[in-house]
Chains A and B, each alone.
Chain A
Amino acid sequence: KAGVTQTPRYLIKTRGQQVTLSCSPISGHRSVSWYQQTPGQGLQFLFEYFSETQRNKGNFPGRFSGRQFSNSRSEMNVSTLELGDSALYLCASNPGQSTGELFFGEGSRLTVL
């Protein structure tokens, strides 16, 4: 069974630009969550989608948004990039239960110059 796939794996953007990251969950998984990992703040929850609906959201500004498609694939978007948005963005999937048992992808490493 293929794992969680995230694209792109690496990207470089400049301040003010926007970025879209993509996540394909494990087949059959209907919940997709996104996390930001930085050396200073650690792992922080961004949001979770289930059946195309956002069912939980972390404490991030509105520049961070996401969506989920009918095939459970998810995208997250960050607009008006700031230097502090440089991070590893992790996607995780789950069959749909609200247990916290998540299967993570390898992440998309975003560098903002």
Chain B
Amino acid sequence: AQSVSQHNHHVILSEAASLELGCNYSYGGTVNLFWYVQYPGQHLQLLLKYFSGDPLVKGIKGFEAEFIKSKFSFNLRKPSVQWSDTAEYFCAVVAGGYNKLIFGAGTRLAVHP
């Protein structure tokens, strides 16, 4: 069965620190990869996506992610976090068509001023 693993459940950073959140998936075929974010009190929204092409993708608010096929990974990065990045981040994969997203368990990020 397809699955998504997120390495960190809770991350605490100070403003201006760099961020990297790990994500690994299990599926041998073609996948679409996503990072979704849920800010406090807000709905889940798309942060960035990878379908094909350049494995380094850029999303909103300065986030980027790198797809490494050989490692089945899609790690999220941001060079310098802000207090407003405090949120829960979900890695997700679609494999086999349609819109059935398989989500990771999520990472709660807290950024302190």
Contacts and interface: CB of A to CB of B under 8 A. Distances in A.
A90 B98 contact: no
Contact of B32 (A35, A43, A56, A99): A99
B49 to A, nearest CB: 6
B99 A99 contact: yes
Given A42-B106, A43-B90, A43-B103, A101 B46 contact: yes
Closest 10 CB pairs of A and B: A100-B94, A43-B103, A104-B44, A56-B98, A106-B43, A98-B98, A100-B32, A104-B43, A98-B97, A45-B100
27 contacts: A3-B43, A4-B43, A33-B99, A35-B101, A42-B103, A42-B105, A43-B101, A43-B103, A45-B100, A45-B101, A45-B102, A48-B99, A56-B100, A98-B94, A99-B32, A100-B32, A100-B49, A100-B92, A100-B93, A100-B94, A101-B34, A102-B46, A102-B99, A104-B43, A104-B44, A104-B45, A106-B43
Interface of B: 32, 34, 36, 42-46, 49, 51, 90, 92-94, 97-106
